[in-house]
Amino acid sequence: MNTNYAGFWMRFVAIIIDGIIIGIIQSFVIVPILAAVGFGFVGSMQTMDMSDPSNIAGMVGAIMAVAGTYWILSMCIQVLYFSFMESSKWQATIGKMALGLLVTDMNGLKLDFGKAFVRNICKIISNFTLLIGYIMAGFTDKKQALHDIIAGTLVVKKATVMSPKEADFAHQDSNSGRQ
């Protein structure tokens, strides 16, 4: 199977495009929630005695709770966006579609939602490695990032993907030569 894998820089540009789209989605979902929480927070801050250390500790705790809520909601939106898009009939996010890329399993087939979800949860690991998990895509044979290796997925250029029948035929053809 002659597959043209998507390299680091193509994937990098795709994630920038997707980042813009996710930012827009988050502004419609998260901002109203934070605004509702923030209005109550600002109202209670105006009546607080800031010389009391327990009030300051409570304020810091509230700020951390809001930041944690924002992070969790943000991660959920990202994981769901990528998982739904990559397991859809397009097999790609909007950023990947713009660059003619597809996400497939190791056989070049479409991902189901479960496999796409695992792939995108594993991106958290790639983030925690100081982004080295992403940079790996520039150095592995199949241009796989850490989350692709863990989930058993590939990101390929669209023109090079075989249909399931073509992949099966190529597999049978390669097996017949080993006899």
Beta carbons of 172 and 21 less than 8 angstroms apart: no
Please state at what angle helix 113-128 crosses helix 53-86, rounded to 10 degrees.
Answer: 140
Residue 65's pLDDT is 83
Average pLDDT, the chain: 84
Q: What is the dihedral of CA 12, 14, 16, 21, to 10 degrees?
A: -160
The pLDDT tens digits of the residues spanning 7-59 come to: 899 999 999 999 999 999 888 888 787 777 666 665 566 666 667 777 778 77
Residue 70's pLDDT is 84
Residue 145's pLDDT is 95
Residue 179's pLDDT is 45
Q: How far apart are CA 129 and CA 135, in angstroms?
A: 10
Structure tokens belonging to residue 81: 């966006």
Q: Which residues of the chain are modeled with pLDDT < 70? A: 1-2, 37-50, 160-179
Residue 55's pLDDT is 73
160: CB partners within 8 A, 6+ apart: 2, 3, 4
Residue 153's pLDDT is 96
Residue 159's pLDDT is 75
**DSSP E strands, the chain:** 101-105, 153-157
* Amino acid at position 142, single letter: K
Residue 178's pLDDT is 45
* Amino acid at position 9, single letter: W
* Amino acid at position 43, single letter: G
Residue 99's pLDDT is 95
Residue 49's pLDDT is 66
Beta carbons of 26 and 103 less than 8 angstroms apart: no
